[in-house]
């Protein structure tokens, strides 16, 4: 299939709202440079332009991440795995396939499975059709499987995957018990000696605690302040071989 894969823009409504708020501040600053209240004249320009900056700057940084930084971050996540090419991989919150396809390209005899419920607020053009189109364009159709499943209740058997990946997904589960359930599901489907690599900007210590409770060894990596916005952290959780016998 001709064309170039499109991995969308993360949190498009957030970016839109930030830009609109920034533009509104600029319009108000130009239209009403001064405001007189009870014979006291206030200069609105400095504060409104300052406010516009703090709305527009995050929106621009989020767009830069969506168009460039996310690919560097994908490679950072995938780089935590010592790939052999034979892995069974699960991408939790596959979206339009950034991690799923990246993992599939590292496989020879292995398989990459992507699950999602495709919330349009999380990613522009989010949907299984967009994911399948990207899979076709990137030439990994024979190594991928796509399923509509909730991270809190997966259909896979225990110890199904060597690698579990997830980026900017689990924070979209708004309840603490729900996020805990998703972490337990990830631990459950992970094979002994398997590795889970999770990235997010919120609740990372919460995830780490849940994985530790499930018996996984957890390592937390620093926030990426240069290539992601909001700055993202990466967590690596490993299941020991002996867990299968416990």
Regarding whether 91 and 40 lie in a shared domain, the answer is no
Strands (E) in 49-92, as ranges, are: 88-92
Regarding whether 217 and 121 lie in a shared domain, the answer is yes
Based on its alpha-carbon atoms, the radius of gyration of the chain, rounded to whole angstroms, reads 21
DSSP 65: I
Regarding whether 144 and 66 lie in a shared domain, the answer is no
The residues that bridge with 196 in the sheet, in sequence order, are 164, 237
Maximum average pLDDT range among 23-37, 43-57, 157-171: 157-171
| Helix (H) / strand (E) containing 165 | strand 161-167
Regarding whether 104 and 64 lie in a shared domain, the answer is no
Which whole number is the average pLDDT over 65-86? 97
What pLDDT does 48 receive? 84
What pLDDT does 245 receive? 42
Answer whether residue 5 is part of any domain. Answer: no
Is residue 208 over pLDDT 70?
yes
What pLDDT does 2 receive? 60
What pLDDT does 179 receive? 98
Q: For the segment 129-151, what is each residue's pLDDT rounded down to a tens digit?
A: 999 999 999 999 999 999 999 99
Answer whether residue 6 is part of any domain. Answer: no
User: In this structure, what token pair is assigned to residue 149?
Assistant: 């499943």
Is residue 243 over pLDDT 70?
no
What pLDDT does 158 receive? 97
What pLDDT does 246 receive? 43
Regarding whether 210 and 145 lie in a shared domain, the answer is yes
Give the Cα separation of 23 and 61 in Å (integer): 16
Regarding whether 88 and 204 lie in a shared domain, the answer is yes
Residues present in the chain in total: 246
Answer whether residue 7 is part of any domain. Answer: no
Percent of the chain with pLDDT over 70: 92
Regarding whether 140 and 45 lie in a shared domain, the answer is no
Regarding whether 232 and 137 lie in a shared domain, the answer is yes
Regarding whether 130 and 47 lie in a shared domain, the answer is no
What pLDDT does 1 receive? 52
Regarding whether 41 and 153 lie in a shared domain, the answer is no
Regarding whether 44 and 143 lie in a shared domain, the answer is no
Residue that is last in its domain, among 70, 100, 115: 70
Answer whether residue 3 is part of any domain. Answer: no
Regarding whether 84 and 53 lie in a shared domain, the answer is no
Answer whether residue 203 is part of any domain. Answer: yes
Give the Cα separation of 65 and 213 in Å (integer): 33
Q: How many domains does the chain have?
A: 2
Average pLDDT of the chain to the nearest whole number: 92
Which whole number is the average pLDDT over 193-220? 97
What pLDDT does 75 receive? 97
Any idea what the CATH number is for the domain that residue 155 is in? 3.40.50.150
Q: For the segment 153-190, what is each residue's pLDDT rounded down to a tens digit?
A: 999 999 999 999 999 999 999 999 999 999 999 999 99
β pairing state of 161-167 and 190-200: parallel
List the end-to-end C-alpha distance of the chain, in Å, as a whole number: 48
Answer whether residue 1 is part of any domain. Answer: no
| Of the candidates 174, 170, 173, the residue with the CA atom closest to the CA atom of residue 208 | 170
Dihedral of CA 87/188/118/93: which sign? Answer: negative
What pLDDT does 171 receive? 96
Q: What residue numbers bound the domain in which 35 lies?
A: 12-70
């Amino acid at each position: 299939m001709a064309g170039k894969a499109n991995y969308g823009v993360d949190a498009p409504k957030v970016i839109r709202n930030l830009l609109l708020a920034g533009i509104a501040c600029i319009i108000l600053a130009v239209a009403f440079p001064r405001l007189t209240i009870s014979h006291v004249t206030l200069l609105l320009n400095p504060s409104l332009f300052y406010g516009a900056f703090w709305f527009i700057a995050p929106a621009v940084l989020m767009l830069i991440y969506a168009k460039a930084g996310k690919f560097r971050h994908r490679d950072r996540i995938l780089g935590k795995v010592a790939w052999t090419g034979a892995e069974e991989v699960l991408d939790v919150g596959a979206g339009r396939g950034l991690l799923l396809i990246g993992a599939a390209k590292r496989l020879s005899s292995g398989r990459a499975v992507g699950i999602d419920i495709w919330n349009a607020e999380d990613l522009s053009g989010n949907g299984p059709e967009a994911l399948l189109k990207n899979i076709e364009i990137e030439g990994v159709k024979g190594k991928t499987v796509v399923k509509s499943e909730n991270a809190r209740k997966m259909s896979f058997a225990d110890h199904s995957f060597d690698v579990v990946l997830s980026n900017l997904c689990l924070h979209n589960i708004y309840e603490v018990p729900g996020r805990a359930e998703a972490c337990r599901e990830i631990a459950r489907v992970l094979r002994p000696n398997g590795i889970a690599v999770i990235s997010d900007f919120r609740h990372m210590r919460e995830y780490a605690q849940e994985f530790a409770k499930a018996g996984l060894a957890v390592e937390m990596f620093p926030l990426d302040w240069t290539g992601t916005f909001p700055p993202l952290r990466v967590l690596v959780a490993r299941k020991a071989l002996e867990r299968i016998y416990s």
